[in-house]
Amino acid sequence: MKFAILINSAPFSHQASDTAYQFCQAALNKGHLIHRVFFYHDAVYIGSSLMCPPQDEPNITVHWQNLAKQHGFDLAICIAAALRRGVLNEQEAKRYGKSSANLAAEFKIVGLGQLVEACLTADRLMVFGG
Amino acid sequence: MKKILFIQRRSPYGTGFAKEALDAILMASAFEQEISLVFTDDGVWQLKNQQDTKTLGIKNFSPTFKALELYEVKQIYVEQMALEQRGLQIEDLIIPVTVLATAELRQLIQQHDVILSF
């Protein structure tokens, strides 16, 4: 089965993004496919490269980067939600005159249409958090 | 074509969910799918007429619901129990809606391919 994943909750404050990660791992281990993981609402913070959790705590951003690289699926961040919350790639940082960009590698800033496209392409959408 | 159901569960201004969910609804409408929208729990407050957010310092986005018809989002439902529990009536809402009993809401969810709950 091909899954699309929507995550709506902030990292650390909520377990949703950890649960989503574990779901994806389990699904991939069973031979299912992940089409795209879409980060919306406060989940866009997961795409910030500036998060520095203590070394003995999991870094959810790095977990997603590794899993996406290994299995070749998209980590898509909603542009409107990301700009509001200060998660910017180089292009957006330049456009808004900000001193730096902070989007983590492997993540892409995309339009909301990519969420709808994922819903239409996947066999099933799984929503985590919110 | 897929049948997409948006479930609005949150009050309009306590969190950013209602506003950002509305953005997603408008975007989905551009994909020419069959879109339905249901308001339940505190989500029914999103449709309350005469909202005034001046003292909150937040934009009142409720007029956008009136534009849904232009976006071909015409199947709009409200759960009856959610209205009753909050002392609201259909006349208090900013747009015309179809009222559903809880069992009908359950059926509605079962009839859709994609459920986006905010």
Domain B3-49+61-117: CATH architecture, name and number where available: 3-Layer(aba) Sandwich (3.40)
pLDDT for res B55? 94
pLDDT in tens, A73-113: 999 999 999 999 999 999 999 999 999 999 999 999 999 99
Inform me whether the pLDDT recorded for B11 exceeds 90: yes
Inform me whether the pLDDT recorded for A20 exceeds 90: yes
A105-109, B48-52, B56-60, range with the lowest pLDDT: B56-60
Which residues fall within 8 angstroms of residue A113, CB to CB, at 6 or more apart?
Answer: B27, B30, B31
SS3 for B84?
helix
pLDDT, mean of residues B96-101: 98
pLDDT, mean of residues B8-33: 94
Here the tokens at position A100 are 């730096």
Among B16, B31, B117, whose Cβ lies nearest the Cβ of A116? Answer: B31
pLDDT, mean of residues B94-113: 97
Residue in chain B nearest A117 by alpha carbon? B31
Inform me whether the pLDDT recorded for B73 exceeds 90: yes
Q: Domain map of chain B by residue range?
A: 3-49+61-117
Domains defined for chain A, CATH in brackets: 2-128 (3.40.1260.10)
Verify whether the Cβ–Cβ distance A125 to B116 is below 8 Å: yes
pLDDT for res B25? 96
pLDDT in tens, A27-72: 999 999 999 999 999 999 999 999 999 999 999 999 999 999 999 9
**Taking chain B, what is the end-to-end CA distance rounded to the nearest angstrom?**
22
pLDDT for res A43? 98
Count of CA atoms in the C-beta half-sphere (13 A) of B65? 28
- The single-letter DSSP state of residue B42 is G
Query: Is A112 at the interface with chain B, CB within 8 A?
Result: yes
Inform me whether the pLDDT recorded for A130 exceeds 90: no
Q: What is the mean pLDDT of chain B?
A: 96
Residue A92: exposed, middle, or buried by beta-carbon count in 10 A (0-12, 13-18, 19+)? middle
* Residue numbers in B near A125 (CB within 8 A): 114-116
pLDDT for res B109? 97
Query: Is B39 at the interface with chain A, CB within 8 A?
Result: no
Instruction: Label residue A121 by pLDDT band (50, 70, 90).
Output: very high
Angle, alpha carbons A18-A22-A25 (nearest 5°): 140
